[in-house]
Structure 1
Amino acid sequence: MAQPQRVYEAWKGNNRFFFGGRLIFGPDAKSLLVSVALIAVPVAVFCVFVARHLRHHFPAYNAGYAILAVAIVFTIYVLLLLFITASQDPGIIPRASHPPEEDFHYDNLSLADTPGRLQFPRIKEVVVNGMPVKIKYCETCMIFRPPRCSHCSICNNCVERFDHHCPWVGQCIGKRNYRYFFLFVSSSSLLCIYIFAMSALYIKFLMDEDYPTVWKALKHSPASLALLIYCFICLWFVGGLTGFHTYLISTNQTTYENFRYRSDGRPNAYDRGCLNNFLEVFCTKVQPSKHKFRAHIEEEVRAPPANRAREVEEEPVGARAKVEDDLDIGGDLLKISQRHNYDGIDIEMGGGDGNDREGAVSDTKLISNTDAKVPTFGGEVRRPSRGQRSGSWDLASEGITTSIPVSESAIPSRREAL
């Protein structure tokens, strides 16, 4: 017997899994290698061409070695934050196997109008902190997205508290990895400042020794000049990003919300004050993932296909009824009536004992009674065509679930009619 698939093997999103589903990356995970190179290569140049020479300028307690050690440790810390941000579930909302049936309803049409059709809302309104917030239905995941959730078109997943999809990280930034993303960006800014400052310090030491002008010092150490230019450019990017996300955290916004709703002038339902907003991001426990990627997929146990009439009888009236009306209404009602508890029906309808039920109705009477229960529109009996399917959801098919009062003694004749 074949072993059942694991969750990550049948994943419907565009993510990439490594180490047997233990690590989840975005579809553009290769860009992560570029980000690693942009961090590691400049630090390696700094350690070889700058920090190595600074060791001798702080002879007391060999303090010059600390410059080299700090650069290496800080770089490892930044790369670790990058890896954690890119390799974990950002807060993916589980998909549904079918639309939420409780939200189906019929439009309000009278019997004199055209038969009603099934309606399904695409937008709902919920209350968050006393303010109304609209949530949308996701056609792909077949769920109503929770507040602050959005569907990432790159990863093809609905992500809780979706901030943005970062191409440098190669992963969505959401509720579960936003903290590590901010720490990665802010730490990268500090690393840029550190490399820039140490390179400028080395140029100063050169000017104090045998190279009195800036040009001669830079010409002697071109690596320092390259690092100064590189860190200056990068600091504009990661530093600006750090400042922007600091503002977002202080106001409890996401990048998606800021760019989409900043012109609306609507109040922020999630703002709890600057201090509480920071505590929410950095001091709350990271919730476990809603997915167990290494778990085996459990096959859904489906009931054996029953008679169509029995399915119609057991389904609730209205939105949850899934009717495929390929038979005449009279024939369907006839089959449904056979599966009712006739004693219970007689009691509900005021029937007496077995002696009072000797007057059995004939097949002809039963069918005529059945036809009498079919809704009429403008005096004309409307029957669904033989090719009609559940997509129409008209009012006549809604009447299929209506039970018909029949006496118990009529059961044998009805079975013979079938």
Structure 2
Amino acid sequence: MGTKTKLEILVLLLLTSGRDPGIVPRNSHPPEPEDIGESSNLSDWPGGQHGSAGLPLTKDVLVNGVLVKVKYCHTCMLYRPPRCSHCSICNNCIERFDHHCPWVGQCIGKRNYRFFLMFVSSATVLCIYVFTFCWVNIGKTMDTHECTFGRAILKSPISAILMLYTFVAVWFVGGLTSFHLYLISTNQTTYENFRYRYDRRSNPYNRGLVQNFIEILCSRIPSSRNNFRAKANEDSAAFASTLSMGRVLSPPKMSVDLEMGTKRQAVGAEDMEDLHSQIGSSMGLERCGTEPPHFVGRKGCSEIASDIETFAEEFGMDNKFTERKKIEPHTNDNP
């Protein structure tokens, strides 16, 4: 039984870590505003009331007769399905996201949660099994040699080491098994439970004790929505490169955190340094009154300075720019 149980645990570990947890495929382009529907909350999204300039941050979805808000994911450029969340480690949106398990190196989601539960519960049974039979072996050693417990441990040190190891391990895997059995009975995920999602409102997914266990353990596992053997699309690669270049050239965007209710400026330090260098170079050209050869046929220094001034105002640097403009007339008097 011990060898068979160990083999089953290894198979369950491979199924948990190597299986697609329910990754939602990314969109190559953000959805169009007219495809969102009337249930979206335009007022919650900065720029959401300016047509195609922005998308609403959330929209309402009906789940078992209850309205549930789903968020828009800026990385995957899609509205997440209900109970879906974006894993910061895997950088993917996972259906029915439970948690990211560092011990198996994989997210636990809709397609591998059942195998994860079987893995931790089987590991608990194995720990109890090994601890029990090691204890029986030491008892038989005491009866055979008619010695004390300490001498029996010296005669069978492997049993003592395994007893100590399984006694410590069973508290981790056993506690994890008990916790997930509670989550299944109430039809919650670890992510929802840690965020107290249903403390002040009813859980629309809770169907009762029996139906919850049937849904998790006996329902059909959906097929993967990804073809990991497919060739990379050139359009998506070009769009990703364009998006990465646009992050450097675009003005700062306001990111909204629904959980904390705060707004913050997402401006990199490198962008600020580049902007300072551009302003400094344009001021140097105006003071000298000359232009390098590669500026021929393009905008003059004054036009470039005005463009950079406008760009600086968007970044909130108009004070620094005006201070440098005040110094400019004094430098122009020098021969």
Find the partner of 2:164 among 201, 213, 229.
229
Alignment check: 8 A CA contact 1:199 1:227 kept: yes
Partner of 1:97: 28
- The alpha carbon displacement at 1:126 in A equals 1.4
- 1:272-291 correspondence runs (5 A): 272-291=207-226
Separation in 2, partners of 1:251, 1:268: 8
How far apart are residue 282 of structure 1 and its match?
A: 1.1
Instruction: Determine helix, strand or coil for the equivalent of 2:145.
Output: coil
Q: Is the 8 A contact 1:160 1:174 kept in 2?
A: yes
TM value normalised by structure 2: 0.64
1:189 to 124, 127, 131: 124
Structure 2: distance between partners of 1:191 and 1:223: 17
Task: Please name the residue that 1:77 is paired with.
Answer: 8
Secondary structure of the corresponding residue to residue 195 of structure 2? helix
Structure 1: unaligned runs, 5 residues or longer: 1-69, 109-114, 302-418
Change in 2 beyond 3 A, CA 1:201/1:124: same
The separation in 2 between residues aligned to 1:138 and 1:127, in whole angstroms, is 19
Q: Which residue of 2 aligns with 1:258?
A: 193
Indicate the residue corresponding to 2:62 in structure 1: 127
Structure 2, gaps ≥5 residues long: 44-48, 237-335
Counterpart amino acid of residue 20 in structure 2: D
Structure 2 Cα separation of the partners of residues 97 and 207 of structure 1: 69
Match of 1:139 in 2: 74
| Displaced runs of 4 or more, over 6 A | none
> Larger C-alpha radius of gyration, 1 or 2?
1
* Separation (CA, whole Å) in 1 of partners of 2:199 and 2:132: 43
CA drift of 1:249 comes to: 0.7
Give yes or no for contact 1:211–1:217 (8 Å, CA) kept in 2.
Answer: no
> 1:263 Cα deviation (Å)?
7.1
Q: CA deviation at 1:209?
A: 1.2
Matches within 5 A, 1:138-217: 138-217=73-152
CA contact (8 A) 1:92 1:290 kept: yes
CA RMSD of aligned residues (A): 2.5
Alignment-derived partner of residue 279 in structure 2 = none
Query: What secondary structure is seen at the aligned counterpart in 2 of 1:136?
Result: strand
Identity within the alignment, %:
55
- 2: distance between equivalents of 1:226 and 1:201? 14
Which string of whole-angstrom CA distances, capped at 9 and with x for unpartnered residues, describes residues 60-106 of structure 1?
xxxxxxxxxx111110110000001100100000100111113589x
Q: Which position in structure 2 is the counterpart of 1:296?
A: 231
Q: Larger % of helix: which?
A: 2
Alignment of 1:5-404 (within 5 A): 70-103=1-34, 118-262=53-197, 264-297=199-232
Contact 2:192 2:198 in 1 (8 A): no
